Each structure stands twice: as C-alpha cells, then as structure tokens.
C-alpha cells in the first residue's frame, strides 16, 4: 500500500498531502473501516488515533479485542478532507481501488463498518445507520457489522443502557463472539498474559 503515497486520483492530496493508510494487524480476521482521516490522523499518519478513535479503541478493549492485534483499521478515504467534511462520492469512488486492495490483502472474516459513510461506500445503503447497526450483513462471502461512528458516540456520551455507547459495545461484543467461533480467528482474552502476538 506504499503506492498510495503517490496517489493523485482525486483532489484531496492537493489540499493536504498526508496519505493515511492503516494501523493494526494486516493478518487480523477483523477489519474496521471508518470514514476519513481527521486532524490527528493526518498529523500522525494513522487512522483512528484522534479522540473518536481512542474511544473506539477503549470500546474494543472493553469486549476483549485488542485494536492493534485483533484488527486492521483503515478508512474509506485515505486523505483528510478539508475541515473534516464528509468525503464526496467522487472522492470515495476514486479511493475505492485502494480500499479494495486492502480488503483483498487482509482477507478479513468480519468487516466492521464504523458510520454511515463506510456503510454507504461498501453496501451502497444510504442513511439509516441507527437501524442498521448491530445487524449482520453479508457481502461477497464476508460478514459485515455496521456500527455507529465513534464521533457520534463522543457527542452522545451517556453510559446508560440502550444509549449509543452501550449499543456499540454490544455490537462489538457480537463481533468478538462471532470471531471466536472461527478457529483461525480465535481471540485470546485481553487479561491472558500469555497472549500471543500474531507475526
């Protein structure tokens, strides 16, 4: 994916040249796809490292998923849109070959789609993320789990049962449960000090 650094397929690199490809484990059974890099991601060159990404990390950890070991994390669009605006359909389509290449290389058993842009980009379903979240989808032989976007969770921080954060934890728990049922994806509990890191 280093080739993406020289990509000029859409106008985004002319506004900000950082290409943010991925973090995590390319051999993971779980792939998390978000929308686009924000300011912090652009600065560090890694996806999901700003406030919302850290919240998603904590939620993953709370259900026993290590974001750096059990997941490969990326975005639909690899360059930061100006002022964090939503990427346009042209930008999403321009960046799609890179995303497709990532999916083929990682070959994930489960793809978690964080937010409506990721759902629309992969499944072509526009809107309705609050109804779609938590509902398994099937796509080209893979299981997909739509999730609420962590930026939305930051704006809705209630810890109450049934609130967005609790719902997302439940959805991630469902993901972990599904991964555990597949031999090659078995997730070692976070508290196990003998946890083996994948190569």
The binding site for ligand SF4 (CB under 6 A) comprises 4, 7-10, 12-13, 19, 77-79, 91, 94-95, 98
CB of 102 to ligand SF4, least distance (A): 11
- Residue whose CB is less far from ligand SF4, 70 or 91: 91
- Residue whose CB is less far from ligand SF4, 99 or 175: 99
CB of 2 to ligand SF4, least distance (A): 12
Residue-wise burial string across 137-151, b where 16 or more C-beta atoms lie within 10 A, e elsewhere:
beeeeebbbbbbbbb
Give the separation between CA 180 and CA 152, rounded to whole angstroms: 28
CB of 139 to ligand SF4, least distance (A): 21
- Residue whose CB is less far from ligand SF4, 73 or 145: 73
Whether residue 166 contacts residue 160, with contact meaning beta carbons closer than 8 Å, is answered with: yes
Give the number of other CB atoms < 10 A from CB of residue 180: 14
Q: Nearest Cα to 75, choosing from 98, 44, 104? A: 98
- Residue whose CB is less far from ligand SF4, 88 or 170: 88
- Tokens standing for 54? 């850290």
Q: How far is CA 170 from CA 85, 109, 122, 162, 185, in A?
A: 29, 19, 22, 10, 19
Give the number of other CB atoms < 10 A from CB of residue 62: 14
CB of 121 to ligand SF4, least distance (A): 12
- Residue whose CB is less far from ligand SF4, 6 or 124: 6
CB of 34 to ligand SF4, least distance (A): 13
């Amino acid at each position: 994916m280093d080739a993406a650094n020289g990509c000029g397929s859409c106008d985004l690199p002319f506004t900000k040249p950082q290409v943010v490809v991925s973090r995590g484990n390319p051999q993971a059974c779980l792939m998390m796809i978000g929308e686009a890099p924000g300011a912090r991601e652009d600065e560090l060159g890694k996806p999901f490292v700003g406030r919302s990404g850290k919240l998603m990390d904590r939620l993953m950890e709370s259900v026993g998923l290590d974001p750096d070991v059990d997941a490969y994390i990326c975005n639909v669009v690899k360059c930061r849109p100006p002022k964090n605006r939503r990427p346009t359909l042209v930008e999403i389509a321009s960046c799609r070959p890179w995303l497709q290449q990532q999916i083929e290389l990682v070959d994930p058993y489960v793809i978690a789609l964080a937010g409506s842009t990721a759902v629309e980009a992969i499944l072509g379903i526009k809107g309705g993320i609050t109804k779609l979240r938590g509902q398994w989808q099937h796509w080209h032989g893979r299981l997909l789990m739509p999730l609420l976007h962590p930026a939305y969770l930051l704006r809705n921080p209630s810890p109450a049962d049934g609130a967005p954060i609790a719902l997302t934890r439940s959805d991630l728990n469902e993901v972990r449960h599904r991964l555990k049922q597949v031999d090659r994806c078995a997730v070692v509990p976070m508290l196990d000090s003998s946890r083996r890191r994948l190569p």
